[in-house]
Amino acid sequence: MTGASFWIYLAILAGTTYLVRVIPFVAIKNKIENKYVQSFLYYIPYAVLSAMTIPAVFYSTDTRLGAVAGAVVAVIFALKKKSLTVVAVAACVMVYVVEMIL
């Protein structure tokens, strides 16, 4: 793709993405006191992350079995309170090993 069209598309793509992120970040300065809003904001990370993870995690590698094995390892390591990095590496290793065997 050449010409002005690309740059216009790029400006819209990058511009809207940036503003959607930054405007609420900059505009809402005060601590929110309302307990329902507070609770909503407390729950939203876990809700969003869960929705992003399941079922997508089961399709994140070449084989379904590898992905399931990796996810199970991740849950086990997470229950043992391992750090994010350790959980991620353990899951990757598990997927790699399972897919080698298959």
Q: Residue 101 and residue 97: Cα distance in Å, rounded?
A: 6
Hey, which residues between 2 and 41 contact other proteins (CB under 8 A)?
5-6, 8-10, 12-14, 16-18, 20-26, 28-29, 31-32, 35-41
CB of 74 to other proteins, least distance (A): 4
Dihedral sign of CA atoms 61, 66, 72, 75 in order: negative
Structure tokens at 60: 């994140």
Hey, which residues between 37 and 96 contact other proteins (CB under 8 A)?
37-57, 60-63, 66-67, 70-71, 73-75, 77-79, 81-85, 87-93, 95-96
**Using the 8-state DSSP alphabet, how is residue 31 labeled?**
P
